[in-house]
């Protein structure tokens, strides 16, 4: 098929300098501004109320790590945070990193990795100031406040201290934005002398490094979306020969941690919902089951501590946390939470020897809270609840967890929040993602209230392709079963209509990245259902992207979508649902589309081409607006208030198109 809009891809990418391309994007931005100008009052009002729900001067709960208590603070009006610490033994507060100062003069700013050395004297951090997700790492002397001369550009990784804080392990992004390496930088030495500890030859795999919980081992992992492999190196001797835990086997994922000479392995080798196994360090590939895999319980991860370990998972889609004991496998202590639907997990627990666990908790009606769990007493203490300065009364809202049958009979969970006094088939916003085994938690959102307080029900469709109900749920929405994701979303919308919560044409929908692909698919298949659509950095040119192995993500994405270069069936299937390829002459709902010029994940030309072809083919007069952030990447604008402005624009568009007052 001829691609009439292929010219929108600048041949010099990632540099975008082609005048015709830039002029096109600027013209679309100008059209966006012109059409939204009449909504500026509503945008400002939405932004004002959203901002009023944020506690501007805010502080996190301090957490002990070694000799210091660490916390972060937002100052009144600040877009970015400041990182602080205080000696446990007493002493003055120390400002260790000032994001506000670092962001000054930059249209975009994002802090990546941040790591304090074990001796507490040095801080390694990495920043991205254009949205390209290529970070520059620096090292700060915390006593003097001075930066060391060491500077590592082009990182895309954690920063891991080793060898008594004399070395730093990191990964560089190569020309295709892939981390195919783990490298060791010796402090004070030129970058040219950095040592490559591991190089990954498979172009579909990415490399990452971390420390074991007891900080004695460097863990170097390499993986794609369905296969992984791990190597261990003594943190005190990072140049020692790596110990391979177990050779990669296609479809087998595993991650590890260590306690003494025992290796703990979280793996899906015998059950798709994962098991937890152990192995002697001397024979790391000899795995013995500690916790069996289960059809009912999805074991998502584990954390080791000196005296106990913690497993996390989901049961019927709801988060579970259990404390378990090394010396008594039968002793299982679940942490019990009060609501029927919620999101909970381990928070920041940096120390090895602890008797208190830091947790996070929220629900669609309960603001986020920080809690401490006393392991011995088995009691929860709430340390902080998210404050909403403009006021919030949870009693005004109700949340439900529904099950709506898909066309094949599968019951799809749907989380819904609305005001208790809402009646009738009013407007409804439906959100979905459905890819990569990423679950969408039923958590709290202050911005969401701006729709709910205007009569909307807000629903999250836990569609196949995510792992909300376990690994089988993920597999049922990938590769040859990808279209389940799209039909599930449509069937949820129809089910919500059947339950009297809304009606066709009164539903607004949104999704980003792979969720933007979802938006593109469902407006092709069922355009009449939707009253307004927001597609953020949408992955809509699926076939062309999967056919181009030179693009940053493509080789690593084949296990998720299929390889149309080698597999004719994959080619035909992807073409059958790829939103760009399936556009046709028909009416489409009102659309707001966004892109980031520096986005390495969904390149700007995908949404640009999609919008251009939509303008050519659509037979309606509905709004089609396209906004490209010229100085940002995949996540849109940075800063807590600048990003809020974009949400206000999206909600103003939705209210405008659905004819909702206020």
The beta-strand segments (E) located in 470-543 are 507-512, 530-536
CATH of segment(s) 396-639? 3.40.50.1820
Angstrom distance (rounded) from CA 347 to CA 372: 9
pLDDT of residue 642: 85
pLDDT the model gives residue 2: 82
113 close to 88: Cβ distance less than 8 angstroms: no
Residue in 10, 223, 599, 638 annotated catalytic: 599
Q: Answer yes or no: 599 catalytic.
A: yes
State residue 216's pLDDT score. Answer: 96
Contact residues for 568 (Cβ-Cβ < 8 A; gap 6+)? none
> What are the residue boundaries of the structural domains of the chain, listed by start?
396-639
Question: Cα(292)–Cα(263) distance, rounded to whole angstroms?
Answer: 16
**Pairing mode of beta strands 507-512, 530-536:** parallel
> For residues 602 and 517, is the Cβ–Cβ distance under 8 A?
no
Mean pLDDT by 10-residue block, N- to C-terminus, for the chain (662 residues)?
91 92 98 98 97 95 97 95 97 96 93 96 95 93 96 96 97 90 97 97 94 96 95 98 97 97 98 98 97 97 98 95 96 92 95 97 97 97 97 96 97 97 96 96 96 98 96 96 98 98 98 97 98 98 95 87 96 98 98 92 95 98 96 69 92 98 83
Question: Helix 642-658 vs helix 19-36: angle between axes, to the nearest 10 degrees?
Answer: 60
pLDDT, residue 383, reads 98
Question: For helices 514-525 and 483-498, what crossing angle results, to 10°?
Answer: 60
Region of 107 (left: φ > 0; alpha: ψ -120 to 50; beta: rest) is alpha
**Residue 634 among the catalytic residues:** yes
Structure tokens that stand for 530 in this block:
């939707």
What the block records as the tokens of 118 is 């074990």
Residues 6+ apart with CB under 8 A from 235: 162, 163, 211, 212, 215, 216, 217, 218
| Cβ 657 vs Cβ 154: under 8 Å | no
- What is the C-alpha to C-alpha distance for residues 176 and 159, in angstroms, rounded to an integer? 21
Residue at token pair 């994922």? 253
In angstroms, the Cα distances linking 214 to 118, 211, 262, 347 are 12, 8, 12, 17
| Residue (of 510, 655, 656, 530) closest to 594 by Cα position | 510
Task: Exactly one of 185, 225, 266, 634 is catalytic; name it.
Answer: 634
- How far, in Å, CA of 530 to CA of 519, rounded? 10
Determine the pLDDT at residue 634: 65
DSSP single-letter state for residue 528: G
Alpha helices in 65-116 (DSSP H): 99-103
Nearest to 239 by CA among 209, 194, 283: 194
Which residue, 611, 603, 607, is CA-closest to 10? 603
CA-to-CA distance for 544 and 551, rounded, in angstroms?
10
Neighbour-count burial of 100, counting CB atoms closer than 10 A to its CB (0-12 exposed, 13-18 middle, 19+ buried): middle
Please give the Cα distance from 449 to 365 (Å, whole number). Answer: 10
Listed in sequence order, the DSSP H helices in 568-631 are: 568-577, 605-617
Predicted TM-score of the model (pTM): 0.92
The C-alpha atoms of residue 176 and residue 156 are separated, in whole angstroms, by 12
Percentages helix, strand, coil for the chain, rounded to the nearest 5?
20, 35, 45
Output the CA–CA distances (angstroms, integers) from residue 218 to 210, 301, 305, 596, in the order listed. Answer: 6, 19, 17, 35
Q: Rounded to an integer, what distance in angstroms lies between the CA atom of residue 637 and that of residue 632?
A: 6
Enter the tokens of residue 267: 């793996």
Per-residue pLDDT reduced to its tens digit, 388-423: 999 999 999 999 999 999 999 999 999 999 999 999
| Contact between residue 133 and residue 183 where contact means Cβ atoms under 8 Å apart | no
Out of 513, 526, 536, 578, the active site residue is 513
Alpha helix stretches (DSSP H) within 459-617? 471-475, 483-498, 514-525, 542-546, 554-561, 568-577, 605-617
- Distances, alpha carbon 61 to alpha carbons 347, 359, 386, 582, in Å: 11, 11, 11, 50
Maximum CA extent, the chain? 71
Interacting residues of 218 by C-beta distance below 8 A, sequence separation 6+: 160, 162, 169, 209, 210, 211, 212, 232, 233, 234, 235, 238
* Contact between 276 and 236 (Cβ < 8 Å): no
């Amino acid at each position: 098929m001829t691609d009439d809009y292929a010219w929108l891809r600048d041949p010099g990418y990632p540099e975008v300098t082609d005048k015709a391309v830039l002029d096109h994007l600027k013209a679309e931005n100008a059209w966006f501004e012109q059409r939204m100008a009449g909504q500026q009052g509503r945008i400002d009002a939405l932004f004002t109320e959203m901002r009023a729900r944020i506690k501007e001067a805010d502080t996190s709960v301090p957490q002990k790590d070694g000799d210091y208590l660490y916390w972060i603070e937002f100052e009144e009006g600040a877009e970015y945070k400041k990182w602080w610490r205080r000696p446990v033994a007493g002493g003055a507060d120390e400002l260790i990193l000032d994001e506000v100062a670092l962001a000054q003069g930059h249209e975009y700013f994002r802090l990546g990795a941040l790591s304090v050395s074990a001796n507490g004297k040095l801080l390694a951090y990495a920043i991205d100031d254009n949205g390209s997700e290529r970070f520059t790492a620096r090292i700060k002397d915390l006593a003097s406040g001075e930066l060391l001369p060491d500077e590592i550009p082009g990182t895309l990784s954690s920063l891991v201290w080793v060898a008594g804080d004399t070395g730093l392990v990191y990964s560089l992004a190569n020309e295709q934005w892939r981390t195919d390496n783990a490298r060791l930088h010796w402090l004070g030495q030129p970058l040219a002398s950095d040592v490559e500890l591991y190089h990954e030859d498979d172009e579909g795999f990415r490399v990452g490094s971390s420390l074991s919980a007891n900080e004695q081992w460097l863990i170097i992992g390499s993986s794609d979306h369905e296969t992984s492999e791990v190597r261990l190196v003594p943190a005190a001797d990072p140049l020692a020969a790596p110990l391979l835990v177990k050779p990669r086997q296609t479809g087998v994922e595993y991650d590890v941690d260590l306690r003494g000479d025992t290796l703990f392995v979280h793996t899906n080798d015998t059950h798709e919902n994962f098991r937890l196994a152990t192995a002697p360090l001397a024979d790391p590939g000899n795995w013995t089951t500690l916790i069996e895999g289960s059809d009912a319980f999805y074991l998502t991860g584990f954390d080791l501590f000196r005296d106990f370990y913690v497993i996390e998972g989901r049961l019927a889609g709801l988060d579970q946390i259990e404390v378990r004991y090394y010396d008594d496998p039968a002793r299982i202590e679940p942490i019990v939470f009060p609501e029927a639907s919620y999101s909970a997990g381990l928070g920041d627990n940096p120390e090895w020897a602890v008797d208190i666990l830091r947790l996070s908790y929220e629900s669609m009606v309960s603001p986020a809270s920080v809690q401490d769990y006393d392991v011995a007493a088995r009691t929860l203490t709430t340390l902080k609840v998210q404050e909403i300065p403009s006021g919030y009364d949870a009693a005004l809202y109700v949340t439900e967890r529904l099950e709506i049958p898909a066309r094949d009979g599968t019951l799809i969970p749907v989380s819904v929040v609305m005001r208790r006094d809402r009646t009738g088939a009013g407007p409804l916003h439906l959100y979905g993602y459905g890819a990569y085994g990423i679950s969408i938690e039923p958590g709290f959102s202050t911005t969401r209230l701006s729709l709910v307080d205007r009569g909307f029900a807000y629903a999250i469709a836990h569609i196949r392709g995510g792992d909300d109900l376990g690994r089988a749920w993920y597999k049922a929405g990938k590769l040859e079963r990808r279209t389940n994701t799209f039909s599930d979303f449509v069937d949820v919308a129809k089910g919500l209509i059947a339950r009297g919560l809304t009606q066709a044409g009164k539903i607004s929908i949104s999704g980003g990245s792979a969720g933007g692909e979802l938006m593109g698919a469902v407006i092709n298949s069922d355009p009449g259902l939707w009253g307004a659509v927001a597609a953020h950095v949408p992955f809509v040119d699926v076939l062309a992207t999967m056919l181009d192995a030179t693009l940053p993500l493509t080789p690593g994405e084949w296990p998720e979508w299929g390889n149309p270069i080698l597999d004719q069936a994959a080619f035909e299937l992807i073409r059958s649902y790829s939103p760009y390829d399936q556009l046709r002459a028909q009416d489409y709902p009102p659309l707001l589309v966004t892109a980031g010029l520096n986005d390495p994940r969904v390149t700007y030309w995908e949404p640009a081409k999609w919008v251009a072809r939509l303008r050519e083919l659509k037979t309606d007069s509905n709004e089609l607006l396209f906004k490209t952030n010229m100085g940002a990447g995949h996540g849109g604008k940075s800063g807590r208030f600048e990003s809020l402005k974009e949400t206000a624009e999206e909600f103003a568009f939705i209210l405008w198109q659905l004819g909702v007052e206020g």
